[in-house]
């Protein structure tokens, strides 16, 4: 690793630098992204000093530090899952780069998982105006973040950080550059140290090639419909062996991750759905019209099923009735929040697993093809937050295939997420088909 880089083998990076790759060729002694590298070096030194570390200490991460032969997506996924702050270099080119939108989306999922599990509205994305961009040209996700930093100075606001970096050898510019640099270093340190964003479970987020935060993305003024159907018993009618602390007077009050997390799963799912631009509603199994035989779909639907539900005679009957017709309802997907280690001994887990299998045999088989982890059981609220977007996407694709008018504007939803080992190509190859010049020059 080079000086100022915090890689997967070191302590978690205090910041991740997301920027648009330049498109003109360069030389080893004259890289085309030299202004970005110079800014990164200077920013790393300031952030290290504020943390009480040597100025050369590794505190940040930029993708040029990934060594030849490494899986670049895996390396990026690890740093995005563990870094404290996401620093985005705003520019017209930045918002046109798919890889930048994928990085943003992956980090944003981590923010929303934390928000859903703690109700803390942690904002850890720090925009830097690399080249001035009119707010009207920004995608909705970028507009929603306050990107003006008053302490950065007037010259930064008018010209952008790139010009200050490139002209910092001039005395009148050098002071403005140092002012802006120190302001951002202090802001990054404050974000990193104030209610730090915890790492994702497993130390990994996945960069989805079909999830670009800057394209057809979330618009709070035009939310899409989404239904969650919570299937869980209620206190007072619990099957023998179920923990009453996890249940309330309605399925909506079910808390599958108690005592580690006290938030009802319906509330967690709703927050995650809203974060992805949906307008979620919560319904229950017996009252959901869309699950009946012959019913036309009115929204992508996610069944959130408690394994204990299959031990309740009435819920088991309703689940089995749906299972018989589930092949005609591709807009309905399944997720099972289930910490098997807390469920008891292996015999009890096997007992509950068999009950689910009998009640939802066909549904589980269909959903397992695209979202196997969600069907097998998600052991933590962090795992639930990481996997639910994929389940929602599968339901939305099924809904699109089943209706003629969704989504608005005849725009197809994203293709299925890819899994498995990522290719060994570099991040610059991910959008190499683009011919525009980048921001590094």
Model's pTM, two decimal places?
Answer: 0.60
Read off the tokens for 211. Answer: 């999830």
pLDDT of residue 184: 97
Same domain for 381 and 348, yes or no, is yes
Q: Which domain holds residue 351?
A: 224-410
Residue-wise pLDDT tens digits, 390-416: 899 999 999 988 875 444 444 444 444
Same domain? For 248 and 205 the reply is: no
Contacts of 45 (CB under 8 A, 6+ apart): 4, 55, 56
Tens digit of pLDDT for each residue in 23-63? 765 555 567 789 999 999 999 999 999 999 998 888 999 98
- Give CA–CA dist 352/286, Å, rounded: 21
Q: Are residues 241 and 185 in the same domain?
A: no
Same domain for 265 and 398, yes or no, is: yes
Residues 287 and 353 in one domain: yes
In the block, which residue shows the tokens 């899986």?
A: 71
344 in a domain, yes or no?
yes
φ/ψ region of 353 (left if φ > 0, alpha if ψ in -120 to 50, else beta) reads alpha
* Same domain membership, residue 228 and residue 102: no
**The token pair that represents 10 in the structure block:** 């070191």
Q: CB-based burial of residue 345 (10 Å sphere; 0-12 exposed, 13-18 middle, 19+ buried)? A: exposed
* Contact predicate 334/303, CB 8 Å: yes
Q: What is the pLDDT of residue 141?
A: 86
Q: What is residue 220's predicted lDDT score, i.e. its pLDDT?
A: 41
Note whether 173 and 95 are same-domain residues: yes
257 and 197, same structural domain? no
- For 241-288, write each residue's pLDDT tens digit: 999 999 999 999 999 999 999 999 999 999 888 877 788 999 999 888
**Mean of per-residue pLDDT scores for the chain:** 84
- pLDDT value for 136: 84
* Bridge partners, 226 (sequence order): 280
In whole angstroms, how far apart are CA 41 and each of 25, 36, 38, 59?
Answer: 22, 9, 5, 10
pLDDT band at 1 (very low <50, low <70, confident <90, very high): very low
Q: In this structure, is residue 173 part of a structural domain?
A: yes
* Residue 12 to residue 186: CA distance in whole angstroms: 18
Six token digits for residue 69: 């032969």
Compute the average pLDDT of residues 368-388.
Answer: 93
Is 1 part of any domain? no
Q: Would 300 be classed as within a structural domain?
A: yes
- 279, part of any domain: yes
The answer to whether position 219 is within a domain reads no
- Is 415 domain-assigned? no
pLDDT of residue 343: 75
Q: Are 324 and 331 in contact (CB under 8 A)?
A: no
Pair (118, 240) in one structural domain: no
Residue 262 burial class via C-beta count within 10 angstroms: exposed 0-12, middle 13-18, buried 19 and up: exposed
Spatial separation of the C-alpha atoms in residues 209 and 49, rounded to whole Å: 36
Say if residue 203 is in the same domain as residue 309. Answer: no
Report how many domains make up the chain: 2
Q: What confidence score (pLDDT) does residue 57 get?
A: 86
Q: Which of 242, 222, 225, 224 is nearest to 233 (CA)?
A: 242
Q: Binning pLDDT at 50, 70 and 90, where does residue 68 land?
A: low
Q: What is the mean pLDDT of residues 201-213?
A: 79
Distance CA(363)–CA(375), nearest Å, equals 9
pLDDT given at position 34: 92
More confident residue, 425 or 206: 206
Q: How far apart are CA 395 and CA 10, in angstroms?
A: 39
Residues 335, 376, 345, 341: is their CA dihedral positive or negative? Answer: negative
Query: Of 57-71, 210-224, 351-365, which gets the smallest average pLDDT?
Result: 210-224
Please tell me whether residues 349 and 400 are part of one structural domain.
Answer: yes
Report the pLDDT value the prediction gives residue 416, as an integer from 0 to 100: 40
If asked whether residues 60 and 156 sit together in one domain, one would say yes
Question: Would 145 be classed as within a structural domain?
Answer: yes
Tokens of 222: 């035009």
């Amino acid at each position: 690793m080079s000086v100022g880089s915090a890689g997967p083998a070191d302590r978690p990076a205090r910041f991740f630098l997301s920027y648009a790759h330049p498109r003109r060729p360069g030389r080893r002694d004259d890289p085309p992204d030299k202004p970005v590298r110079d800014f990164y070096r200077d920013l790393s030194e300031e952030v290290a000093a504020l943390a009480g570390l040597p100025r050369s200490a590794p505190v940040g991460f930029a993708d040029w530090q990934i060594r030849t032969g490494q899986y670049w997506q895996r390396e990026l996924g690890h740093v995005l899952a563990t870094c404290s702050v996401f620093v985005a270099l705003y520019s017209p080119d930045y918002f046109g780069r798919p890889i930048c939108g994928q990085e943003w989306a992956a980090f944003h999922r981590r923010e929303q998982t934390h928000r859903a599990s703690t109700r803390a509205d942690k904002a850890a994305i720090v925009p830097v105006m690399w080249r001035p961009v009119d707010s009207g040209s920004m995608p909705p996700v970028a507009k929603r973040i306050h990107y003006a930093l008053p302490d950065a100075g007037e010259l930064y606001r008018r010209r952008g950080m790139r010009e200050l970096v490139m002209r910092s050898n001039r005395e009148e510019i050098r002071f403005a550059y140092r002012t802006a640099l120190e302001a951002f270093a202090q802001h990054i340190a404050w974000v990193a140290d104030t209610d730090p964003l915890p790492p994702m479970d497993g130390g990994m987020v996945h960069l989805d090639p079909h999830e670009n935060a800057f394209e057809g993305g979330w618009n709070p003024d035009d939310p899409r419909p989404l239904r969650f159907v919570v299937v869980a018993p209620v206190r007072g009618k619990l099957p023998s062996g179920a923990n009453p602390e996890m249940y309330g007077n309605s399925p909506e009050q079910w808390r599958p991750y108690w005592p580690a997390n006290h938030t009802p799963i319906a509330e967690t799912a709703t927050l995650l759905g809203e974060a992805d631009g949906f307008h979620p509603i919560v319904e229950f199994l017996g009252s959901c019209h869309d699950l009946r035989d012959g019913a036309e779909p009115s929204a992508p639907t996610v069944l959130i099923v408690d394994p204990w539900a299959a031990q309740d005679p009435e819920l088991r009957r309703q689940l089995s009735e749906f299972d018989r017709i589930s092949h005609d309802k591709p807009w309905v997907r399944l997720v099972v929040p289930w910490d098997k280690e807390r469920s008891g001994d292996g015999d009890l887990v096997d007992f509950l697993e068999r009950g689910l299998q009998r009640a939802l045999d066909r549904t589980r088989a269909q959903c397992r093809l695209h979202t196997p982890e969600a069907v097998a059981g998600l052991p933590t609220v962090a795992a639930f937050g990481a996997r639910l977007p994929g389940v929602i996407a599968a339901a939305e694709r099924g809904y699109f295939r089943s209706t003629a008018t969704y989504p608005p504007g005849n725009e197809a939803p994203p293709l299925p997420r890819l899994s498995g080992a990522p290719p060994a190509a570099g991040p610059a190859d991910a959008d190499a088909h683009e011919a525009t010049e980048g921001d590094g020059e």
